[in-house]
Structure 1
Amino acid sequence: MATNQKNGANLGFENKLWEMADKLRGHIDAAEYKHVVLGLIFLKYISDSFQEHHRWLESQLADPSSEYYTKDEEVRKRVLEDRDEYRAANVFWVPEEARWAKIQAQAPQPTIGRVIDEAMAAIERENPSLKGVLPKDYSRPTLDKTRLGELVK
């Protein structure tokens, strides 16, 4: 009896990863583009995780049956921006300037490399366990900013 089994898990982003690598292929060395792509994937992942928890908190703050519920709009805003609410849920705190939507909005700009470097630095400042770990060389002259912007879009 023949079975069609694959080793490994289907993570759901393999095609996107391949497309991202394809956009860079031929424009920078393969050893370099993997770092570019992996750094962006990490940035997108933590931003998505942050946004998911943010939406959950928002729904809990608005739900009268939730222990988080409050009518006070100012309290809601403070809770949504409280770093401890995210850390308690094992979610990295992502400062506003490092959130994917903010970065994506600047993707067409020639300064996108600097924007990403600053986002990585901001994430490291807010999350000491990541200090010195994240790549911060997206503004280097050898990296095509048009293609980088396309990756971010």
Structure 2
Amino acid sequence: MTNNGANLGFEQKLFQAADKLRSNMDAAEYKHVVLGLIFLKYISDAFEDARKDIEKEYSDPKNQFYVREPAERYGIIEDRDEYTSKNIFWVPTKARWDYLQKNAKQPTIRKLVDDAMDGIERDNPSLKAVLPKNYARPALDKQRLGELIDLIGQSA
């Protein structure tokens, strides 16, 4: 934690979210739920930061790499190699945090999170068989999962 206590609000909210999940789940289980989502948020944020830098680079007429055509520029911005060359994990569109947060209240959110984890593993071989992919299990309340996604999205 930082010396100025800036993380205190986030930590408190995170513990509140964990308490909500804990009501119907063993601590050994919910820690994986929470940590998996935090990891997903972290790599999605790193991806989005890199995406903004790439977009800026190819959108600036003064830059030597400027691309005039928006469709061509979009193709470059969505090119996996642009990210992996910068040691950034490629995050597929439906695995990006903004997509998951927009769908947090959908009845299919548990499957969407599992699919996101599968997509990240598929596109990043170094993560193969590492990420949790058990969000679709019936014991995990979809409403609480959606609330946790919103909470992590608001706090970080």
Q: TM-score, normalised by structure 1?
A: 0.87
Which has the greater radius of gyration? 1
Structure showing the higher helix proportion among its residues: 2
CA distance in 2, matches of 1:67, 1:88: 19
1:128 aligns with 2:125: yes
1:88 aligns with 2:85: yes
Structure 1 stretch displaced more, 18-27 or 98-107: 18-27
1:52 aligns with 2:49: yes
1:14 corresponds to which residue? 11
**CA deviation after TM superposition for structure 1 residue 149, in Å:** 0.8
Give the root-mean-square deviation of aligned CA atoms.
Answer: 1.7
1:5 corresponds to which residue? none
Q: Could you list the per-position Cα deviations for residues 25-84 of structure 1 after superposition, in whole angstroms to 9, with x for gaps in the alignment?
A: 222111111000000001111111111111111111111232321212122111101111
Q: What secondary structure is seen at the aligned counterpart in 1 of 2:61?
A: coil
2:32 corresponds to which residue? 35
1:148 corresponds to which residue? 145
Structure 1 stretch displaced more, 71-80 or 29-38: 71-80
1:76 corresponds to which residue? 73
1:23 corresponds to which residue? 20
- The runs of 5 or more residues in structure 2 that have no matched partner are 151-156
2:103 corresponds to which residue? 106
Q: What secondary structure is seen at the aligned counterpart in 2 of 1:43?
A: helix
2:113 corresponds to which residue? 116
- The runs of 5 or more residues in structure 1 that have no matched partner are 1-7
CA distance in 2, matches of 1:92, 1:23: 31
